[in-house]
Amino acid sequence: MMAPFDWTGIGFYLVNLLLGIGFGVALERGGFGDSRRIAAQFYLTDLTVLKVMFTAIVVAMLMTLWAQALGFLDPARVWIDRTYLASGSLGGFLLGMGMVVGGYCPGTSLVASSNLKIDGFFFIGGLLFGITVFGESVNRFWDFFQQDGFRGMFTLDQWLHTTKGMTAVVVTLISLAAFWGSERLERLQPAPAGGRRVPGAGIKAGAVILLLAAFGLILVPQPGLSDRLVRLGPELDRTLSRREVQIDPAELVDLMHNNQVRLMLLDVRDEADFNLFHLLDAEHRGPGDLTTEFARSIDPEELVVVMSNDEVRATAVWKALRADGVRGAYILAGGINQWLDLYGGLADPPALPVSTAAGTTAGMNRETAEPLRYVFPAALGDRTEIAWPDPHHMHLPERTYTPKAKVLKPVTLAGGGCG
C-alpha cells in the first residue's frame, strides 16, 4: 500500500515560492533592478533604495514584535543571526564597496539578470568567483572569521539596555528621520524629467501608523520566560515523557571524544557537589546565571548537555533553555549519580556509595532534594580519569544505547540587507 502523499511538504515549498516571487517583484518595483539607482544612493542623488529598505525593516520589525506580543509567533522559533563584529564589519565594508562599484548586491543582481541585463550577469559571475575564493581560503583566517568580536545572539535592546518596545520606538524614529532627511537631500538635486513626486497624505498617514504601532509595544510587553514555558509546556512535557532528549552516559562519552561536535556540559548542581566531582570542561551555573542572555550566547550548532545529580534540576533548566530557543539542549540521563553508577568504580580511588562509605568525607550528611549518592576521599573536581573516560585506556562496561543527540545546522539567508 502506498504511503499517503505529503501535502504539507508541498505547501512549504509553495509558500516559499510565492514569497520569493513577491520579494522579487517588490525589489524590481522599488528600483533595485537598476544599478544606476542603487549606486546613486551613495552619491546622495537618489535615495529610493534607502527609503525602501528602511520601510521594509520597520514594518517587518513591528509585525514580528506584535505577533510575538499577541502570542501568534513563538520567539524561540525565530532565528536571529549571531553577531561577529570584526568579520561582520569587514564584510559589510566590502559589500558596500561592491555596491558602489558594481551597482548591485547579491539579491539585486539576480533581479537585474531576470530582466536580461548584462551587468547583472557579470555581477553574478563575480559573486560566484568570490564565493569560490572565500571557500578555498577561509581556513587561513578562520579564527578571525568565527571568533574575533563574536557576541552571540546580540540584539539592539541588549546593546541599549532597554526593552524591545522602547527599541522599536527608537528604530522607528530613526527610520522616519532618515526618510525625511532623504527627501530633503533629493530636493537639492535637479528635478528629474516629468517633475518630482510630492509625498502625499498616504505617506504621512503611514508614518503615523508606524509610530502608533511602535509606541503600542511599550504598553504591550513581549512574552517573558514564564509565558513561553506555559505556552510550550505541553510540547516539552511530551518530549520528556518520550525520553527523546535524555542521552545515555555512554552516548555522552562518545560525544566527549568526537572532535566534530561542539559540546557544552552545563552542570547545575550545588557548588559543593560540583567541587567534589564534575565532568571535564563542565561549566558550573547557578540559578542566577541561567538568564535569557546566557541562552542567547549559546552557539546554535553547539550541543548543550545539562546535568544535575539526578534529573530533576536538569529538567527544569532544560525547559528554560528550550523556551529561550536553545534547540540543541539535552539532559544527561540519570544525572551524575548514574554516571558514577557506571564509571565510579573505575576511579582511583573509587567513588563509594553513601550507604557503604560511613566515615568518609564531604557531602554525606547534606540534605538536599536531589542528593549526590556517592562520596570521594577528597574534593577531586575533574582531576580523576572518570571525568573524561577514555574507552581506549579504560575498561568501560559494555553498553548499548539509542543515539539521541542531533547537531543542528541552522539554515539562514546568505546575506543581509536587500538579499
Residue 363, domain extent: 226-387
Please tell me which residue, 30 or 92, carries the higher pLDDT value. Answer: 92
Identify the pLDDT of residue 409. Answer: 56
Q: How confident is the model at residue 273 (pLDDT cuts 50, 70, 90)?
A: very high
Share of the chain above pLDDT 70, in %: 89
Q: What value does the mean pLDDT take over residues 209-215?
A: 92
Q: What value does the mean pLDDT take over residues 115-124?
A: 89
Residue among 308, 397, 285 at smallest CA distance from 344: 397
Q: What value does the mean pLDDT take over residues 384-400?
A: 85
Q: How confident is the model at residue 346 (pLDDT cuts 50, 70, 90)?
A: confident
| pLDDT tens digits, one per residue of 66-118 | 998 888 887 766 777 778 888 889 988 988 888 888 888 888 888 888 888 89
Q: Is residue 356 scored above 70 in pLDDT?
A: no
State the DSSP H helix or E strand holding residue 154, giving kind and residue range, or none if neither. none
Q: Is residue 248 scored above 50 in pLDDT?
A: yes
Q: What CATH number corresponds to the domain at position 327? A: 3.40.250.10
Q: How confident is the model at residue 7 (pLDDT cuts 50, 70, 90)?
A: low
Q: Is residue 184 scored above 80 in pLDDT?
A: yes
Q: Which three cell numbers stand for residue 231?
A: 505556552
- Verify that 13 and 106 share a domain, yes or no: yes
CB neighbours of residue 45 within 10 Å: 15
Q: Please give the Cα distance from 7 to 9 (Å, whole number).
A: 5
Q: What value does the mean pLDDT take over residues 233-245?
A: 93
Threshold 0.85, pTM exceeds: no
Q: Are 204 and 52 in contact (CB under 8 A)?
A: no
Q: Please give the Cα distance from 131 to 327 (Å, whole number).
A: 29
- Verify that 255 and 369 share a domain, yes or no: yes
Q: Please give the Cα distance from 412 to 79 (Å, whole number).
A: 8
Q: Which three cell numbers stand for residue 100?
A: 558602489
Q: What value does the mean pLDDT take over residues 358-382?
A: 70
Q: Which three cell numbers stand for residue 290?
A: 541561567
Please tell me which residue, 5 or 197, carries the higher pLDDT value. Answer: 197
- Verify that 273 and 312 share a domain, yes or no: yes
Residue-averaged pLDDT of the chain:
83
Q: What value does the mean pLDDT take over residues 203-231?
A: 86
Q: Is residue 152 scored above 80 in pLDDT?
A: no
- Verify that 221 and 232 share a domain, yes or no: no
Q: Which three cell numbers stand for residue 78?
A: 525565530
CB neighbours of residue 111 within 10 Å: 25
In a domain, 400, yes or no: no
DSSP count for the chain of H helices, then E strands: 16, 9
Q: Please give the Cα distance from 302 to 281 (Å, whole number).
A: 14
Q: How confident is the model at residue 305 (pLDDT cuts 50, 70, 90)?
A: very high
Q: Are 374 and 337 in contact (CB under 8 A)?
A: yes
Q: What value does the mean pLDDT take over residues 135-151?
A: 84
- Verify that 57 and 120 share a domain, yes or no: yes
Q: Which three cell numbers stand for residue 246?
A: 535524555
Q: What value does the mean pLDDT take over residues 280-304?
A: 84
Q: Are 418 and 27 in contact (CB under 8 A)?
A: yes
In a domain, 406, yes or no: no
- Verify that 92 and 48 share a domain, yes or no: yes
In this structure, what DSSP letter does residue 354 have?
A: G
Adjacent-strand bridge partners of 307: 267
Q: What value does the mean pLDDT take over residues 202-228?
A: 86
Classify each residue of 158-180 as buried b or exposed e, where b means 16 or more C-beta atoms within 10 Å of its C-beta: beeeeebbbbbbebbeebbeebe
Whether residue 349 is preceded by a cis peptide bond, meaning omega within 30 degrees of 0, is yes
Q: Please give the Cα distance from 246 to 315 (Å, whole number).
A: 9
In a domain, 232, yes or no: yes
Q: Is residue 165 scored above 50 in pLDDT?
A: yes
Q: Please give the Cα distance from 150 to 138 (Å, whole number).
A: 17
- Verify that 302 and 337 share a domain, yes or no: yes
In a domain, 395, yes or no: no
Identify the pLDDT of residue 255. Answer: 93
Q: What value does the mean pLDDT take over residues 194-213?
A: 75
> For 103-187, where are the alpha helices, taking DSSP H only?
106-114, 118-137, 142-146, 156-160, 164-187
Q: What value does the mean pLDDT take over residues 218-244?
A: 87
Give 110-119's long-range contacts (Cβ < 8 A, gap of 24+).
110/24, 110/419, 111/24, 111/27, 111/28, 111/32, 111/33, 112/33, 112/34, 112/35, 114/24, 114/28, 114/33, 115/28, 115/33, 117/33, 117/35, 119/35
In a domain, 148, yes or no: yes
C-alpha separations of 268 from 293, 300, 302 in Å:
17, 20, 18
